[in-house]
Amino acid sequence: MATLRPKTSSLPSPAIDGTTVIGPAISVKGRIEGKEQLHIQGRVDGMIRVSEALVVEPGGIVVAEISAKDVVISGTVVGNVAASNCVTLNPGAKLVGDIRAPRLVLADGAAFRGNVQMSGEPAREVERARTTASRPVASPPVRHGAPRVTPGRATARRPTPSAVPRVEAATPAKPTTSGSREEDDVTAVIRHQALTPKGADGAVKANRRVPTRTTQPMVLRAQPKQQPVTEAAANPVTTDSRTEGPARRARTEAVHPRIPPRGKRKLARR
Amino acid sequence: MANTVIGSSIVIDGEITGDEDLVVLGTVKGRISLRENILVESSGTVEADIETATITINGTVTGDVHASERIELRNDCRVVGDIRAPRILIADGASFKGNVDMEG
């Protein structure tokens, strides 16, 4: 029976242990955990947690929550990425998801959409900063930082000097009340700007549909005379179309007072 | 053909599908469905139903194994489950518990 042993299959015995490879024609659905390097050339859906480097090679697709020591992406990743050391997006990489790592290298030609948290140890502090109003402050520098980060070699290890001031900028905001007030002011402005167009639209729409809303200045502008409006509103109204009808007629009355609309209005009422 | 290797410290919980050779040194739980060759090394543990063309087992497999061509149980392996393939080799020293079906 020992003769069977030399009859090995066509498989070459794995050259290096300590490296896991998901080949290009392989798809894994589920969880991958381990303590060694993981190279993905195929596809993984689910979750990946390794204590060494994770390398998503060109052509590799990962739809998963990732946590690793280093994450090097040359393929496509959809999901949040957490690295204890460094995240590298090489040219051609695509990442949609949030990054949390003390160091981040974003090469020219990499596509990325998501938030970045660059904080060495104090993940909690950042969480706190998030919950207080610092989020609009914390996220914009990242967008500025993204193009700023080296367009050169992706593997070039930047000490990321920019990461330090970012974190510092976020941290003093929490304890000092004055800083947080300023931040609150900023957020208030942003919110205001964000809401104004919506509110205006809403007002216009409401004005068209329900002519009785006279509280908004828009209504006054649209309908210079108030009386016909109230008249129209006095009608027993059940649907929007009916409100709109009398309201328009009332407006035409206001503009052309000579047109005798009374008979028409009576007809309309009937 | 490129090779997929599941390293010895890796645990995969889920499903592996594809068209290429697979070497398992670590642990796979769930299901494996390939059309190529699987090699379970002596450090490898598979707790899964396996569907493949050929499989060579040195390690531990718990689950049903269906190979369209060949199943080979090497002399230190432990297999618990039904095996089904047109060609089946069981080496001296292999530990196996289950049914054998050689009708393909």
Does the beta-carbon distance from B5 to A31 stay under 8 Å? no
User: What pLDDT is attached to residue A45?
Assistant: 96
pTM above 0.90, yes or no: no
Quick one: average pLDDT of A141-157?
A: 43
Spatial separation of the C-alpha atoms in residues A143 and A110, rounded to whole Å: 14
Residue A194 DSSP code? H
DSSP string for A107-167: -TT-EEES-EE--SS-HHHHHHHHHTTTHHHHHHHHHHHHHHS-SS-SS-----TTHHHHH
Give per-residue pLDDT as tens, B60-94.
999 999 999 999 999 999 999 999 999 999 999 99
Label residue B103 by pLDDT band (50, 70, 90). confident
**B54 has a pLDDT exceeding 90:** yes
Mean of all residue pLDDT scores within chain A: 63
Does the beta-carbon distance from B75 to A5 stay under 8 Å? yes
Nearest to A29 among B3, B14, B23 (CB): B14
Label residue B2 by pLDDT band (50, 70, 90). low
| Closest chain B residue to the Cα of A32, Cα to Cα | B12
**A245 has a pLDDT exceeding 90:** no
Nearest to B3 among A23, A37, A46 (CB): A23
User: What pLDDT is attached to residue A18?
Assistant: 75
Q: Is A38 on the interface with B (CB under 8 A)?
A: yes
Q: Rounded to an integer, what is the distance from CA A224 to the centroid of its chain? A: 43
Range from A122-126, A190-194, B8-12 carrying the lowest mean pLDDT: A190-194
Mean of all residue pLDDT scores within chain B: 92
Chain A to chain B Cβ contacts (< 8 Å): 121
User: What pLDDT is attached to residue A104?
Assistant: 92
User: What pLDDT is attached to residue A53?
Assistant: 94
Contact residues, chain B, for A25 at CB < 8 Å: 1-2, 18-20
User: What pLDDT is attached to residue A19?
Assistant: 87
* Mutation to test the B interface, candidates A20, A29, A37, most B Cβ within 10 Å: A20
User: What pLDDT is attached to residue A119?
Assistant: 74
**A215 has a pLDDT exceeding 90:** no
Domain limits of chain A? 16-175, 200-269
Quick one: average pLDDT of A156-173?
A: 42
Instruction: List all residues of chain A from 12 to 31 with a beta carbon under 8 Å from chain B.
Output: 12-14, 17-31
**B101 has a pLDDT exceeding 50:** yes
| Closest chain B residue to the Cα of A16, Cα to Cα | B7
Does the beta-carbon distance from A4 to B11 stay under 8 Å? no
User: What pLDDT is attached to residue A21?
Assistant: 92
**A123 has a pLDDT exceeding 80:** no
Label residue B7 by pLDDT band (50, 70, 90). very high
**A121 has a pLDDT exceeding 50:** yes
ipTM of the complex: 0.86
Give per-residue pLDDT as tens, A50-73.
999 999 999 999 999 999 999 999
State which amino acid sits at residue B84: R
User: What pLDDT is attached to residue A157?
Assistant: 43
Label residue A267 by pLDDT band (50, 70, 90). low
Maximum C-alpha span of chain B: 36
User: What pLDDT is attached to residue B3?
Assistant: 83
Give per-residue pLDDT as tens, A67-119.
999 999 999 999 999 999 999 999 999 999 999 999 999 999 999 999 998 87
Quick one: average pLDDT of A157-165?
A: 42
Q: Is A3 on the interface with B (CB under 8 A)?
A: no
Spatial separation of the C-alpha atoms in residues B95 and A38, rounded to whole Å: 31
Spatial separation of the C-alpha atoms in residues A149 and A151, rounded to whole Å: 6
Contact residues, chain B, for A26 at CB < 8 Å: 4, 16-20, 22
CA distances from A267 to A227, A230, A254 (A): 20, 19, 19
Label residue B40 by pLDDT band (50, 70, 90). very high
Q: Which structure tokens are listed for B40?
A: 């379970």
**Highest-scoring range by mean pLDDT, A190-194, A238-242, A263-267:** A263-267
Does the beta-carbon distance from B3 to A30 stay under 8 Å? no
Q: Are B31 and B16 in contact (CB under 8 A)?
A: yes
